[in-house]
Amino acid sequence: MRPTGRASRTTAAPMPVPRSGNLTFAMDLNRRDFIAVPAAAVAGSLFAAETAVPWQRKIRRVGQTNMTEHDPVVLDVEQWADYWASLKVDAVLVSVTGILAFYQTKVPYHRKGKFLGARDFFGDCCAAAKKRGLHVIARMSPDLNWEDAVTAHPEWFQRDAQDNPVHHTEDPRLFRTCMFTTYMTDYVPAIMREVNSLYDIDGLYTNAWPPLGALPVCHCQQCRQLPPAGSIEYWDQFNERSVYLWKLYDSIAKQKRAANFYFANLGGGVRSTVDLVKLGEICEWFQCDNQGRGGDDTPIWGCALQGRVCNAVQEGKMSTNVTAAWSTGTPRWRNVYKSRQEEQMWFDETLASGMAPYHHIIGGENGMGEDRRWLEPAQTYFNWMARHDVHFINKRSIANLGVVMGQRTQLFYKPPRGALMREYLDGIYYALLEGRFLFDFVHEDKLAPKDLARYSALVLPNIALLSDAQCRQLREYVDAGGSLLATFETSMYTERNQRRQDFGLAEVLGIRKAGEIIGTTGNAYLARIEKPHEILAGFSNTHWIPGAQNRIPIAPVEAPVLSVVPGFVAYPPELSYPLQPHTNEPAVVVRQKGKSRLIYFPGDIERTMWRSGHTDLARLLQNSIRWVAGANPPVTIDGEGVIEAFAWETQAGFAVHVLNYTNPAMHRGWLRTFYPIGPQKVRMSLPAGRRVTRVELLRAETDVPFSSGSGTIEFTIPKVMDYEVAALHSA
């Protein structure tokens, strides 16, 4: 989820939003496509998706020993298969690769590993897994190949600006392939077809494509014909190519068996490179390569956040989060176990946010790894989970607060100098956790009435890029009684990243832009309390509270709640006082239209809260979210500590998940120990006609008493170590 680069802003002419829902998949022969997708295979895949419950939607657990070149002579295949079967996994990923072959391939330039000899290592692993009833997914890596392939097929590879093939950064013997070339439509399908013809596999998977975090920059002959790297026009082509390749590979998977399918390495949180909504239409299994934190300043909730992204686009289809047993971070140790507590919290977040856990270890030196500390913890955890599977089969999220993700904003918006995109999200996320709100992520391309009907309010944390149509959808949502909280440059840009004259939501929010962004030189602007309001609860004995680091000035409104006191110098203190103690520039705009409650902050308040840590801003944000969300949240959890909570309707009834983040390593990994928190009092509204017969704590493996009133249930979780799940059995 950490951004690794930012695209530059472009000023191209507006183009229509790419249409979603295009299931017919028209192929344009003028594009860089060299293999036709068999029409029957495509039609077959659609038919299968519509008429059967695919096996992969029933997967609860997944395992992978990521194979090394050395494994054919060191990994104990029987021990390997026994281990994964003992974790009650439903599927294992086994490498055929593409960089190094793990079987006797005949595909040119698919180099056999130097320890493979005459052995069919993939075949042995596949057979051992099948003997134990495990599904086998053939794992490929289409991202790198060797110098002999560069010589024979120079057109397959990424080029730098000087037209040199691009070396892999860690091992210069390898070169980076380009996704717009025939490498992806000739070489990769050739391996897929060969593996299909030889083995009893259940699906195909590519690691390392599509790229995570940042869009590719390549100067090969194909890419030179594309719009500039980093532009929205490039993104259109990138998405079209990605969907094309996905469908091509899926059609090849289905040539083996109708129930087989293709999926790829995804993740990147809200900053996914591929259009998540387009992908959500074809993606049967959302595999999150979101393996863990390192020693950097990454908050603990990265895995739960990824789960929220999957929920926003997958509509109940399979999502897994790959949890590394190996030491993630910088530097990393691929073959040594990491903190057990950190790994366990990542599993906890996977389950709480509705994904399936996936245990990932690298290499089988000395049988199953020289460091075997990574074997038992996942075994214990997965077997605990298996005892309670029925409570992890979710039907729907119970949250009634939506947080708009803004995928285009994450990829293309250029924040003010010194600001990072992730700070807006980290800030709002922290405020939501501190305020103990239950919320879902909502993708900007899913704002139709059917998508928003369940939400009483939406939060838009600097969602700068919104189309006219999306602004219209938000207006209709407000007209129907929905509430909004928006910050800073929300709706200042179109979906093509063109800056508007005024906010796209100006009328809805009752605001008008009155100037360009004002930053700060030392002492940021203040907000003067003009009149009492619920969003100011807890502020007493002061006329001033902090504003934010940046703001976009807006025109005066009637009876503002907070007004701007413009910033001034922090040093010298002699000059540290406001030159203009009172203005009519609003620091917040609060409106109520019937049932609908609207709040707009002209400042980057969530980001400034994250950067400064200021508790006034945290309070103001939480008060504001609480006010727009309205009374009667579906679930409340009262108690000490910083938690993240989820509530689901499940196959067995309902489940309330509580993750305990109260930990000195909450903002910087890894967790070293858990700090248990005391009683958490849960109150939940039940849908009409539903009765709860039993409340079972799944981690403690004990029942707790409960009381039910008219349509509500109350109970107390006495203690949460790292994680607790209150399973509500319901008829």
Q: Which is nearer to Zn ion, 156 or 437 (CB)?
A: 156
Q: Which is nearer to Zn ion, 154 or 377 (CB)?
A: 154
- Looking at 480-588, list the stretches that DSSP marks H as alpha helix, in order from N- to C-terminal side: 506-509
Q: Is 220 in the site for Zn ion (CB under 5 A)?
A: yes
Beta bridge partners of 696: 703, 727
Smallest separation, CB 161 to Zn ion (Å): 12
Q: Which of 171, 177, 167 is nearest to 209 (CA)?
A: 177
Q: Which is nearer to Zn ion, 155 or 714 (CB)?
A: 155
Smallest separation, CB 655 to Zn ion (Å): 46
Q: Which two tokens stand for residue 162?
A: 């000087």
Q: Is 184 in the site for Zn ion (CB under 5 A)?
A: no
Q: Which is nearer to Zn ion, 110 or 176 (CB)?
A: 176
Stretch that binds Zn ion, among 176-184, 299-307, 315-323, 663-671 (CB under 5 A): 176-184
Smallest separation, CB 187 to Zn ion (Å): 14
Q: Which is nearer to Zn ion, 217 or 700 (CB)?
A: 217
Site for Zn ion in 487-546 (CB under 5 A): none
Smallest separation, CB 212 to Zn ion (Å): 18
Specify the DSSP class assigned to residue 366: T
Q: Which of 652, 622, 725 is nearest to 401 (CA)?
A: 622
Specify the DSSP class assigned to residue 526: E
Stretch that binds Zn ion, among 220-228, 368-376, 445-453, 694-702 (CB under 5 A): 220-228
Site for Zn ion in 407-436 (CB under 5 A): none
Please, which residues have CB within 8 angstroms of residue 565's CB and are 6 or more apart in sequence?
Answer: 525, 526, 527, 528, 544, 547, 578, 580, 581, 582, 583
Stretch that binds Zn ion, among 173-181, 205-213, 448-456, 563-571 (CB under 5 A): 173-181
Smallest separation, CB 146 to Zn ion (Å): 18
Smallest separation, CB 178 to Zn ion (Å): 3
Q: Is 223 in the site for Zn ion (CB under 5 A)?
A: yes
Cis bond leading into 211, ω under 30°? no
Smallest separation, CB 637 to Zn ion (Å): 50
Type of residue at 684: M
- Looking at 417-467, list the stretches that DSSP marks H as alpha helix, in order from N- to C-terminal side: 421-434, 449-452
Longest CA pairwise span in the chain (Å): 82
Q: Which is nearer to Zn ion, 181 or 407 (CB)?
A: 181
Site size with Zn ion, rule: CB under 5 A: 5
Q: Which is nearer to Zn ion, 178 or 300 (CB)?
A: 178
φ, ψ for residue 712, nearest 5 deg: -135, 160
Smallest separation, CB 109 to Zn ion (Å): 18
Cite the beta strand spans of 192-303 per DSSP E. 203-206, 261-266, 285-288
Q: Which is nearer to Zn ion, 223 or 621 (CB)?
A: 223
Instruction: Work out which of 96, 138, 178, 717 binds Zn ion, going by CB under 5 A.
Output: 178
Q: Which is nearer to Zn ion, 41 or 217 (CB)?
A: 217
Q: Which is nearer to Zn ion, 218 or 274 (CB)?
A: 218
For the chain, the straight-line distance linking the first and the last C-alpha, in angstroms and rounded, comes to 39
Q: Which two tokens stand for residue 436?
A: 């103990």
DSSP codes joined into one string, 144-208: EEEHHHHHH-GGGB-B-TTSPBPBPSS-TTEEEB-TTSHIIIIIHHHHHHHHHHHS--SEEEESS
Instruction: Work out which of 144, 218, 625, 643 binds Zn ion, going by CB under 5 A.
Output: 218
Site for Zn ion in 281-310 (CB under 5 A): none
Please, which residues have CB within 8 angstroms of residue 367's CB and are 6 or more apart in sequence?
Answer: 74, 75, 76, 79
Stretch that binds Zn ion, among 178-186, 334-342, 575-583, 640-648 (CB under 5 A): 178-186
Cα 447 to Cα 708: distance, rounded to the nearest angstrom: 35
Residues engaged in binding Zn ion (CB under 5 A): 178, 180, 218, 220, 223
